[in-house]
Structure 1
Amino acid sequence: MESRRNSTTVVGFSLLPSELIHYIILRLALPDIFHLKSVNKFITSVIADQDFARDYNLRSSSSTWLFVYKKRWHRDPVVVHGFTQSSERWFKVMIGDILKPVTPPGEDLYFLTAAGNFFLFALNCSREVISVDPITKTVKRIPQSPLGPRGTSSWRRSGIKLLAGPSGSGQFRFLFAEMVDNNPTLFEYDSTTNKWKSTIARENNVNLTHNNVKDKDRIFLSASNGPNTSIVISVGCDINDPLVVRPRFTTVPEDGELAVGFSWGSVINRLHIYGDGRMLIVRSGSVGLNDSSRRIRCLKHIELWGLNPNGSQWAFVSSIPNGLIDEIKKPYGVMMGCLEEREETIRVILMSNFEGVWDIIWLGFDLVKSRWFRVPLPVFNMEGSNMAGVTFSSGLTIA
């Protein structure tokens, strides 16, 4: 009965003027478009039109998706869950069958990052990295970097960046920063050549007073972060000339302790989340003990910092208003986060776990309006699951 009702709805939809159909479909998420494509030939012809594909890809490239990978057991099918603000529900991106030819049974996967139609996974057992394109259903083994095999714990989210090529090109670049023999070093993989390139970044020690490294076209990768000093690699249009900046943080807690990217709430009250030349400081306080006598924390204060113009210091940007803190504060035992900046907006994901239950919070800061906001998320059931990767990404495009 439900199938007949859906069929009638689709047929009625097809009777609308073609311009209106084009307008409506253009605003759908790609999984919904593929669903329509599979049930109606007329809609298939609209989607196959080159003008529609161009308009959709242009619109999608400026949208933002949140992707989460959760798993219960190694044998579970690989499913990435995605959410975008233009929709009101989570979507499933099924990539288990695509991965089967390159992942042996029992392999432990971790979701690194995504951009456009490319998803990057680290394989903990074989210590490889693979890329997956769920639209063209292709998978690619990335050769080992000059540093050799790397387990999942070696990858730091704030030190990596995936850059997708033009829509339909099937090309991408993967960059990461690392300290090698005390030298901040940039590593770049280009899918076009299928090769890696490594470059030691040069120090930013000329005309520091007048030098402006905060160019919106530059990429910032964290190589190292300490209580009061960070090492960041700044990459401009000339990929062969990465620059080192060493921002200092003058406000240091008395105990000097901090957690970077991931925090056990029972240990440290201050969590730092880095990304794109920004730093989010999450401060918490104790609210008691749970049944296992572990200390429970709760959010108290969140600050956003960024590089000053010459990159020599972390400069305060804004604090989240107390009203918004009251909306999002919950007890937690573990917290992790990720941060990205794109198109004058900073986006932050905070994932916390309290007694086995995960909670996801999406926050944003509009740099132009100097305004914080929260993106409401549909219920996302993670009970009994392990967190195996979370990232922001630009939208999926029609191949």
Structure 2
Amino acid sequence: MDDHRNSTTKNAVGLCLLPQELIQNIFLSLVLPEIIRLKLLNKSFSRIISDNTFVRQYNSLSTSTTWLFVYKKRWLRDAALHSFTDRSSDRWFRIPISELLKPIQFHGEDLYFLAASNNVFLFASNTVREVVAVNLISVTVKKIPPSPLGPRGTSSWRRSGMKLVTDPTGSGHFRFMFAEFVDNRPVLFVYESRTDTWRSTEAEENTNTNEFSFSFSPRGAGHVFLNVVHGPMESVLVATMPDECDKSVVLRPRFNVAGANDDLTVGFSWGNVMDMLHVYGDGYMMVVKSEGGNTRNVRVLKRVELWGLSLDGRKWEFVSAVPGVIEKPYAAMMGCLEEKNGVVRAALVSNCEGVWDMTWLSFDTKWNRWTWMPLPDCKMKGWNMAGISFSSGLTLP
């Protein structure tokens, strides 16, 4: 450990001898966890990184960087997010958060990671039934008051039924939205951090056969789609605008495809039971098809398809399938999906004999092109997954 510290110090001293413009160019090529670590290393680096011109340049580059965050289920005293970015495809970064969470009393309980957007991350507690928002860059944490539905345990939060949207100005304010059935009616709930209050609105049924009650294009237009109910033949979604949440509409897209009545699971699949896994997000649906393996309780992934909402929001339309054959044995599988700027990203996480395996899939809707890559080992053997989410636009203050 001392040798590593001495080596790091020597490298830092050597770097300080370079011209400042060259140092800035080197720093611009680094990802945010590396920048934060350098800022803490010495005062010279801190001054360079805190310079307004450098912050603007770095944030301009960082806004297009996509991250995948994974949270392991472990004791709060050692809580850490593990992050991977498409700008650095060879390793994971570890971001400790236990010190950040100290002001909040969770009685030593481990947490569940709900969602992320820009610098804001949401965690939920099952015992005290609270949600907290953590800002990794401003190093702040705050409790979110209970929603109009009251305190909720971690099992009540459905990944595809909620969305975290941050203020694009970089103010740190955010909206947390989720949709639920209340008295058999879809209702949208929105928390506004600026006012620290919740509001709720009942979503309107779409009665016009040609257009919705407010103007929007279902896919790739920056709208928010929250999945309320999933079935083998039909889904129920609530659609709204991220900055105009007083209006929302109910969508009931049909899934008309051969085999849709086969065994189906949403979000998480045990290999010995389900043939088809559906992963929803942002007006898209990824269908993961499997077949029985040679071993009991193990299945083999065979095909991955991407479907999207039709322009009238009344059916799921086939978009594309991952080319080639992706064969992967698994006993359990889960996934998350997001769309941003015309690119659909999905992470498929499988477990086989205690070993976790992750694959990052991307589909560019403009060029009709797939890319995918297996992620390096996250050292999760024997651990339970306690949340996964994509996020873009981590920025310096």
Q: Which residue identity is paired with 1:42?
A: S
* Contact 2:106 2:128 (C-alpha < 8 Å) held by counterparts: no
Match of 1:268 in 2: 274
**Matched ranges for 1:214-363 at <5 A:** 214=218, 216-236=221-241, 237-253=243-259, 255-289=261-295, 294-323=296-325, 325=326, 329-363=327-361
3-state SS of paired residue (1:239): strand
Runs of 4+ in structure 1 displaced over 6 angstroms? none
1:24-65: per-residue Cα shift (whole Å, max 9, x none)?
211211221122223333322211111111222222222111
Name which of structure 1's ranges 76-85 and 225-234 shifts more when overlaid on structure 2.
76-85
For 1:86, the equivalent position in structure 2 comes to 87
8 Å contact from structure 1 (residues 66, 392) kept in 2: yes
Q: CA deviation at 1:238?
A: 2.7
Cα distance in 2, alignment partners of residues 6 and 112 from structure 1: 35
| Range moving further from structure 2, 3-12 or 267-276 | 3-12
Q: How does 1:373-392 map to 2 (within 5 A)?
A: 373-392=371-390
Question: Residues 298 and 76 from structure 1, CA distance in 2 versus in 1: closer, same or farther, beyond 3 angstroms?
Answer: farther
Give 3-state SS (helix, strand or coil) of 2:23's partner. helix
Deviates more, 1:52-61 or 1:333-342: 52-61
Tell me the distance in 1 between the aligned counterparts of 2:54 and 2:168.
17
Query: Paired residue for 2:362?
Result: 364
Structure 2, unaligned runs of 5 or more: none
Q: Equivalent of 2:181, from 173, 179, 184?
A: 179
Deviation at 1:255, TM superposition (A): 4.4
Q: d(CA) in 1 for partners of 2:261 and 2:374?
A: 36
* 1:64-213 correspondence runs (5 A): 64-72=66-74, 74=75, 76-87=77-88, 88-166=90-168, 168-208=170-210, 213=217
Name the aligned partner's letter for residue 78 of structure 1: A
Amino acid at match of 1:165: D
Indicate conservation of the 8 Å contact 2:109/2:127, yes or no. Answer: yes
8 Å Cα contact 1:305-1:314 kept in structure 2:
yes
Deviates more, 1:4-13 or 1:47-56: 4-13
**Does structure 2 conserve the Cα–Cα contact (< 8 Å) formed by 1:288 and 1:295?**
no
Q: TM-score, normalised by structure 1?
A: 0.93
Alignment counterpart, residue 62 of structure 2, candidates 48, 60, 63? 60
Residues 1:31 and 1:331: Cα distance change in structure 2 (over 3 Å): same
Post-superposition offset of 1:168? 4.4
The CA distance in 2 between the partners of 1:269 and 1:158, in whole Å, is 20
Q: Which TM-score applies when normalising by structure 2?
A: 0.93
Structure 1: give runs of 5+ residues left out of the alignment: none
SS where residue 376 of structure 2 aligns? coil
TM-superposed deviation, 1:134 = 2.3
Q: 1 CA distance for matches of 2:146 and 2:39?
A: 39
Tell me the secondary structure at the aligned position of residue 245 of structure 2: coil
Please report the RMSD computed on the Cα atoms of aligned residues, expressed in angstroms: 1.9
Q: CA deviation at 1:234?
A: 1.1
Question: Deviation at 1:278?
Answer: 0.3
Q: Share of identical aligned residues, percent? A: 50
Over 3 Å counting, the alpha-carbon distance change for 1:131 and 1:254 in structure 2 is: closer
Aligned residues: 390
Q: Distance in 2 between matches of 1:199 and 1:64?
A: 32
Secondary structure of the residue that 2:294 maps to in structure 1?
strand
SS in 2 for 1:347: strand
Moved more, 239-248 or 19-28: 19-28
